Amino acid sequence: MTVKVAVAGASGYAGGELLRLLLTHPEVEIGVLTAASSAGTPLGQHQPHLVPLADRVLRETSAETLAGHGVVFLALPHGHSGEIAAQLGPDVLVVDLGADHRLRDAADWQRWYGGEHAGTWPYGLPELPGAREALAGTKRIAVPGCFPTGGSLALAPALAAGLVRPEVSVVAVTGTSGAGRSLKPHLLGSEVMGSASAYGVGGTHRHTPEFAQNLSAVAGERVTVSFTPVLAPMPRGILTTASAPLASEVDTAAVRAVYEKAYADEPFVQVLPEGSWPVTSATLGSNNVQLQLTVDESAGRLVVVSAIDNLTKGTAGGAVQSMNVALGLPETTGLPTVGVAP
Ligand SMILES: NC(=O)C1=CN([C@@H]2O[C@H](COP(=O)(O)OP(=O)(O)OC[C@H]3O[C@@H](n4cnc5c(N)ncnc54)[C@H](OP(=O)(O)O)[C@@H]3O)[C@@H](O)[C@H]2O)C=CC1
Ligand SMILES: CC(=O)N[C@@H](CCC(=O)OP(=O)(O)O)C(=O)O
């Protein structure tokens, strides 16, 4: 089976990573590539690492140019997917890498993003309970935000097992590519190099409701989330430290057993050997999530650290993985489990 795929936003970081993965996917033929201001220019000008596609000319992004494909990936800024997706036929598998279809509550969308809510689609994080069933055979996929990917998988087993109270704290250090490639003063080399900065502090980052949605569903009760992102001088990668108060006395070995069981059959999630803590560099370019945990006895909290590549598992890899599930392909097809280091 070969499926023809189109990528909207092919000149961006997420679109570029998607194409890097799709180029080695055996069941995929790469069709139309679109952009906005870059339309009319060759892809090689924007993504020099994608050598086999260097001469492909980017087209305008519209439902017309994206027609005639079995799968359409939308790697566009927030708020731009809803209108295009609504014009694509019900038989086309539409995979939205933006936020437009992630939140279930229209009031949350209004509050955090503004404008009309485009509706809720099955959520592209197959490792969450029930997600695979919702993705199988679907024609619409909402790919998670990069922070909720690493953070949700860090806490889900503990919340599902009732090991921690539903009051979690998440601090995530991210590379600059998470912000996309458009020009922003705070992303200039001279601002970022040699410096780390917190932003979106105090429950003001728009991933807060996405975390709460994921974790509340897993816990079966409302989970409050205090989320702090930190921008660090690295191009890609997210290191998340998540913690929550213990619900009752439990030791690290018992929590480890729960995590090992929860992720035993997950091809992309590795609970690292005891004493080994995740580093972002070990996940770069792979679709992996690496995890380690401990019980902080003096504070009475569980602490879990996860590492991902924001562009791979955090976006494009998660998108391809979810596409595989939707199309009934082996879930690991075309996805690297080996990172690039150092
Ligand atoms: N970067 C990351 O780590 C993650 C990104 N995402 C999501 O993926 C999506 C893309 O992000 P990212 O690649 O980082 O962003 P970039 O800014 O790097 O790329 C944006 C892409 O969208 C195109 N574009 C911009 N405006 C429009 C428009 N009005 N109509 C059509 N196309 C447009 C751009 O084309 P042109 O070059 O011509 O302007 C470019 O191809 C976003 O929704 C983002 O939130 C999700 C998780 C993680
Ligand atoms: C460094 C940086 O700015 N990161 C972005 C991450 C966004 C992302 O990856 O997810 P979405 O698809 O929800 O935008 C941010 O904090 O907004």
Q: Which of 53, 93, 95, 146 is catalytic?
A: 146
Q: Delimit the domains of the chain by residue range.
A: 3-144+313-327, 147-310
In whole numbers, what is the pLDDT of the chain averaged over residues? 97
Query: Model ipTM?
Result: 0.98
* Angle, CA of 290, 159 and 254, to the nearest 5°: 70
Mutation to probe ligand 2, out of 73, 146, 186, 192 (largest number of atoms < 8 A from CB): 146
> In this predicted model, what pLDDT tens digit does every residue of 253-265 receive, in sequence order?
999 999 999 999 9
- Ligand 2 binding pocket (C-beta < 6 A) is 98-99, 145-146, 174, 176, 178-179, 229, 231
Separation in Å, CA 247 to CA 196, 224, 244: 33, 15, 9
Q: Which helix (H) or strand (E) holds 157?
A: helix 146-160
Tell me if 81 CB under 6 Å of ligand 1: no
Q: How far is the CA of 99 from the centre of ligand 2 (A)?
A: 10
CATH number of the structural domain 3-144+313-327: 3.40.50.720
Work out the pLDDT band at 276, boundaries 50, 70, 90.
very high
Residue nearest to atom 3 of ligand 2 (CA): 179
CB atoms within 10 A of CB 297: 11
In tens, the pLDDT along 110-133 reads 999 998 899 999 999 999 999 999
Contacts of residue 211, defined as CB under 8 A and 6 or more positions apart, other chains included, come to 147, 148, 151, 152, 168, 170, 225, 227
- State the pTM of this model: 0.98
Ligand nearest to the CA of 174: 2
Q: pLDDT for 298-334, tens place per residue? A: 999 999 999 999 999 999 999 999 999 999 999 999 9
The topology (CATH level 3) of 147-310 is: Dihydrodipicolinate Reductase; domain 2 (3.30.360)
Question: If pLDDT is split at 50, 70 and 90, which confidence band does 17 have?
Answer: very high
pLDDT in tens, 24-70: 999 999 999 999 999 999 999 999 999 999 999 999 999 999 999 99
